[in-house]
Amino acid sequence: MRFYLAVAMVCLGACAQTPNLALINSKEFGKNPDLSEPEVSLLPTAKIARAVGFRAGEAPRPAAGWTVNRFAEGLAHPRWLLELPNGDLLVAETDTPQNSGGFDGIKGLVAKVIMRYGGSNRGSADRIRLLRDVDGDGVAERSVKLLEDLHSPFGMAYRDGYLYVANTDALLRFPYQLGEDNVSGPTEHLTDLPALPYNHHWTKSLLFGSTGRHLWVGVGSNSNIAENGMENEEMRAAILQYDIESGELSVYASGLRNPVGMALHPETGGLWTVVNERDELGDQLVPDYLTEVIEDEFYGWPVWYMGGNKDERVLAMGIDNDTRVREPDYALGAHTASLGLDFYDYPHPSVQHAAIIGQRGSWNRSQFAGYKVIAVQFDAGRPKDALPITLLDGFLSEKGQARGRPVGVQVLGDGAIVVADDVAGIVWRLAPAVPTK
């Protein structure tokens, strides 16, 4: 056991010496990505940037015409964000729950070492924190622990005097009055959420539909390619729908390996998500993607990827599916860990109505990819077939170390964008140099 752990650490240490190469490879992005041939090997490529954090006075690099500052810092692994109607910001301080993973034996051990090296799997604070910018200067002067003793919380939603929180295993509801610094009412357990062992993709994201009757819940797969058996994938790799009135939980759309960020497009009202695709098929497979989510549609996982491409590894396990597959709308680069999603609903010459996406960064490729906040431009409610705009980068040092890793993104009511950086423990505020009108 010590031998394998030592081998993993030597490999990771060597990887950390690579220069900053957070790529945007043109063939891996857009509406018609040029897919490479699969490359299957006995051991997956494992290269992750060592988590070191930002030093005092340092910040990631904003795009021209934008500024960035520390909205809040000193946080415990901030991953997800929600702006409340009164302008307060909620942040989920959370991490992998205990006994969660997806791999047994040596592979599982190495996976855990990789996660810790990259800044995760170090224990979860299990809380929701409230941040308040009292004087409007772009910095949160007030920071309070709003909810504690949760279980790897992630998704949050607010409507009609209730705060909804998705633990890794349950959907909860709390009565909450805007502007208060505490939640005094009782906890309501609305429904269990899929969390069977291994609970591989543990995050559960939340979003209200436009009518307020339904909550969508993003639930990732319990494996990479169903190697633990399809019986462990029930109600997973899907966006679920919870009916507030009846309490019914059902599958809204399926075949989405790990749908995390969800948002409604400001022009069309359509539901969109970003999906983390499968690993261990080579540097350039399979691209993560941004797609509109249509009720009852099937997006391919585990058999299919990027439309009509079959994963031969899944077929070799005796799993097949000939259901019609809906092709994703826009490829986001392989292994970029595209997680955060919101739409920019303010006048801006380059990003109005664009999808703002937090890419936490790769581990399963030989050159770093992701580690950015990007904007995918839209026209008439659909993604443009063009490369994304990089809004915020510089999360990788020249030595290939992770000073930060952007996860959740939220467009605020004043036109700024906040970014949860779970390595640095910072919420960054990215704003146009000329305020939106």
| Assigned domain for 255 exists | yes
Closest CA to 89 of 165, 140, 154, 163: 140
| Assigned domain for 353 exists | yes
Q: Any idea what the CATH number is for the domain that residue 52 is in?
A: 2.120.10.30
As a whole number of angstroms, the distance between CA 390 and CA 235 comes to 35
| Assigned domain for 190 exists | yes
Q: Which two tokens stand for residue 113?
A: 């070492």
As a whole number of angstroms, the distance between CA 407 and CA 395 comes to 12
| Assigned domain for 437 exists | no
What would the mean pLDDT of 235-253 be, rounded to a whole number? 98
Q: Which residues contact 224 (CB under 8 A, 6 or more apart)?
A: 102, 200, 278, 279, 280
Quote the domain boundaries for residue 358. 2-432
What would the mean pLDDT of 267-280 be, rounded to a whole number? 97
Q: Could you give the number of structural domains in the chain?
A: 1
Q: Of the given ranges (13-27, 260-274, 287-301), which has the lowest mean pLDDT?
A: 13-27
Residues of the chain with pLDDT > 90: what percent?
83
Cut 0.85: pTM above it: yes
Whether 263 contacts 341, CB under 8 Å: yes
pLDDT of residue 113: 60
Q: Is the pLDDT of residue 1 over 70?
A: no
Q: Is the pLDDT of residue 37 over 80?
A: yes
pLDDT of residue 13: 31
| Assigned domain for 315 exists | yes
As a whole number of angstroms, the distance between CA 254 and CA 293 comes to 9
As a whole number of angstroms, the distance between CA 287 and CA 378 comes to 19
Write out 211-241 in H/E/C secondary structure: CCCEEEEEECCCCCCCCCCHHHHCCCCEEEE
pLDDT of residue 22: 60
| Assigned domain for 396 exists | yes
pLDDT of residue 25: 72
pLDDT of residue 354: 98
pLDDT of residue 190: 98
| Assigned domain for 280 exists | yes
